[in-house]
């Protein structure tokens, strides 16, 4: 991922420095376990821990010749450790180091993402409570439907954020498995106790069964969870993009002092953060497809997944981390215009109360379709003639056989929509 979209803490997880430190720790822990089993001298692990150093430049230089990253790494460590290095990597295959390290990096990045999601959840809760009773128009198919509250929009996102926290926790748990069991996963040259020791000490669990590699359904699930989480952030950003449109202007991104919206038009305030979030969410979905393609490998392993993973895992975790924190800031500083919301609510001359009239007619004994047609006839006049809906209803003589003027007018109020908002907030866990 390019530096522009990389937050330092997440970027550090995928750095070569961190990767090689984990590789070295895996090798040292394996030596410790083998020493307990009497397979290597007891002083090997302490010696390696004391003398070995991570020299990224040297490893890269060696890889130019070896064309093999693990061999380049081991060669570099040998240069520091000397003779005891002959016990390093004993009976192991490259994927023992690579996949175990990869699992730990995924775990580290996933835990960072969970922290971000928890932060977003709290921001959504705070703002949902702030706008619990702020009435706005609900739109279906982009068309005015019935009143809702802006707090309910935020509560909806809060609830989905909760689900994504649970999904991410499950995905992190599922990917937190290592393997130290040799070339095709049979433990031919190793004891399972080595694997147990390594995994326990770096915070992983031993995979119950593997080939040369840990199976990639675990990784596909992790990346798919990232993509699904990204789609939630896109949902939030897309709604804000619509609400910021000049014709709507019910909410807008915070526009800082000195910020510029256009190189040509000084008046412009564009929803650039929301657009960035929507754009990067597309990348996350594309990467999820690639991760699924990686699950089917030849026999006990081929290398077709490797190059893909070197790109999509750092990119996906870094990208989600970036847009997640952008969303936190976006929601936290979102500027909301309740007066404009009410103005938009009223702009369709009251037809948003059509269902209330329909329901009341049905209660008074009309067949539902007969009632529907009566109300629709008046609603179509309102659309066509820009006539207030209440007037169109009053002029509908057949409909007015069932209402007094006062009864009809009483249907045109906002109070009822708030009746169950508190119940919904409690059911979502906001209250």
H/E segment holding residue 371: helix 368-385
- Neighbour tally for 183: CB within 10 Å: 17
The Cα 292–Cα 226 span in angstroms is 13
Residue 73 · residue 56 · CB < 8 Å? no
CA dihedral (315, 318, 319, 321) in degrees, to 10, reads 160
Q: Is 262 a catalytic residue?
A: yes
The Cα 396–Cα 398 span in angstroms is 6
The Cα 67–Cα 367 span in angstroms is 79
Sign of the four-CA dihedral 135, 140, 143, 144: negative
| Beta-sheet pairing, 135-140 with 143-149 | antiparallel
Residue 47 · residue 81 · CB < 8 Å? yes
The Cα 377–Cα 360 span in angstroms is 16
Residue reference for tokens 């822990």: 29
The Cα 263–Cα 249 span in angstroms is 22
The Cα 86–Cα 63 span in angstroms is 19
The full DSSP string for 92-113 is: --HHHHHHHHHHHHHHHHHHHH
Rounded to whole angstroms, the maximal C-alpha distance in the chain is: 102
CA dihedral (126, 127, 130, 131) in degrees, to 10, reads -150
Q: How far apart are the first and last CA of the chain?
A: 39
Catalytic residue, candidates 85, 109, 141, 191: 141
- Active-site residues, by number, are 141, 262
């Amino acid at each position: 991922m390019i530096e522009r979209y990389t937050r330092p803490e997440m970027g550090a997880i995928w750095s070569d420095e961190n990767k090689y430190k984990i590789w070295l720790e895996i090798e040292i822990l394996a030596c410790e376990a083998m020493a307990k089993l009497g397979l290597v001298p007891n002083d090997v692990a302490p010696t390696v821990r004391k003398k070995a150093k991570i020299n990224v430049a040297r490893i890269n230089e060696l890889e130019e010749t070896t064309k093999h990253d693990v061999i380049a790494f081991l060669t570099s460590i040998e240069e520091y450790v000397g003779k005891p290095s002959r016990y390093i990597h004993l009976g192991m295959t490259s994927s023992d180091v690579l996949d175990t390290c990869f699992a730990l990096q995924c775990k580290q990045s996933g835990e960072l993402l969970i922290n971000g999601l928890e932060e977003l959840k709290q921001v959504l809760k705070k703002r949902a409570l702030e706008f619990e009773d702020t009435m706005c128009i609900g739109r279906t198919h982009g068309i005015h439907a019935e009143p809702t509250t802006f707090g309910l929009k935020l509560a909806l996102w809060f609830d989905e954020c909760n689900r994504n926290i649970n999904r991410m926790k499950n995905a992190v748990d599922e990917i937190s498995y290592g393997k130290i069991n040799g070339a095709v996963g049979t433990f031919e040259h190793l004891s399972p106790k080595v694997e147990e020791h390594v995994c326990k000490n770096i915070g992983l669990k031993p995979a119950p069964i593997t080939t040369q590699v840990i199976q990639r359904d675990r990784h596909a699930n992790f990346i798919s969870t990232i993509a699904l989480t990204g789609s939630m952030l896109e949902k939030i950003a897309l709604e804000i993009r619509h609400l910021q449109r000049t014709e709507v202007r019910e909410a807008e991104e915070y526009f800082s002092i000195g910020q510029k919206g256009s190189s040509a038009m000084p008046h412009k305030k564009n929803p650039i953060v929301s657009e960035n979030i929507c754009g990067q969410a597309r990348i996350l979905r594309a990467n999820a497809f690639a991760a699924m393609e990686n699950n089917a490998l030849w026999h006990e392993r081929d290398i077709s997944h490797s190059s893909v993973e070197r790109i999509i895992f750092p990119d996906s975790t870094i990208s989600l981390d970036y847009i997640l924190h952008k969303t936190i800031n976006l929601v936290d500083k979102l500027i909301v215009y309740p007066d404009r919301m009410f103005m938009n609510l009223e702009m369709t001359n009251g037809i948003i109360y059509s269902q209330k009239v329909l329901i009341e007619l049905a209660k008074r004994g009309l067949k539902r379709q007969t009632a529907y047609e009566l109300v629709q006839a008046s609603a179509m006049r309102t659309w066509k003639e820009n006539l207030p809906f209440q007037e169109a209803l009053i002029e509908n003589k057949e409909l007015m056989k069932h209402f007094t003027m006062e009864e009809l007018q009483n249907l045109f109020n906002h109070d009822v929509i708030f009746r169950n908002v508190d119940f919904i907030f409690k059911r979502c866990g906001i209250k």
